[in-house]
Structure 1
Amino acid sequence: MENFNAPLKITLNFTELINSESKKYFKNLDIELHDSYFTNKGEFHIKFPVDDKVVINGLHYYNLFIGKMIVIHLSNKKGTSIRDKKIKEMCSFNFTKDELTTITGDFNIKKSERIHIFIYNDNTKYPIGLFSNLEKINEELSLLPKENGGGGVIIEGP
């Protein structure tokens, strides 16, 4: 089991849940589109509800054929799932590209229209191969030739 006292050095802010947040967040670890975003200072701002204090164990970026995603690996002291527990407070933090634990594929946030955020809640070590099958599929799909309007006319090879 990973040491709970060895999180990334990211400052987490915990605030009391306000009424408007309780209406739009239904479960712990939910991410809302306009509450989590990429800032004009080059930082990601992430916000989600929790039942108790958590720590960030890793931040992973994947640029795959199916889309760009950030996986936030977090854990709590109890080592239990917090998804279905009662929402008690909001957690928010900022991070930059330099604080990413993993970067797979090209990282060019300025060309990104959308990034999917996944929260992986587990006290154990992050499974490095969690997205290995997706990375292989991404590589295979990127090797497909480009066709012009269908019909099998290849305009650019793999």
Structure 2
Amino acid sequence: MIITTVVAAGVSTMNVGTAHSEVNPNTRVMNSRGMWLSYILGIGLLHVILLSIPFASVPVVWTLTNLIHNLCMYLLLHTVKGTPFETPDQGKARLLTHWEQMDYGVQFTASRKFLTITPIVLVFLHGWKVAYHYWSSVTGKICIVHFYIYSSCPIMCIIL
């Protein structure tokens, strides 16, 4: 939205609503419009791409979907530190992972619950679709191991 004001010397324009007010945009990225849908569609796209491999069976594809998804989420959420852009927070986010920066570090927000539940649902889908094939179910359970370590909810660890 551009607001035009008439000044005695001429016309000046002022851009309103073009800049964000967040000190660190990493804190609110998972709450932005359409992010959860994009995340689910990305997982579905990965699965469809893996299904298009001619020699891969369905249990192997579900296993690969789980492995690739959880490996990428582990690396992006729990390993990479800092922000991909310059922030005016004087280096406070430099030593924090994305999981620690998300929602200003508040636990049990909707975004964190969504990111915790999604791999669990993927493992249950994996087990259901492959009819608990031995090797696929073993690797599917291995996929969720980082939530045993990094989960801030001990009840979720007991359930799994």
Category of TM-score, reference length = shorter chain: under 0.3
Q: Which is bigger in relative contact order (C-alpha 8 A, separation at least 6)? A: 1
User: TM-score normalized by structure 2?
Assistant: 0.24
Q: Say which one has the larger Rg.
A: 2
Give the structure with the higher percent helix: 2
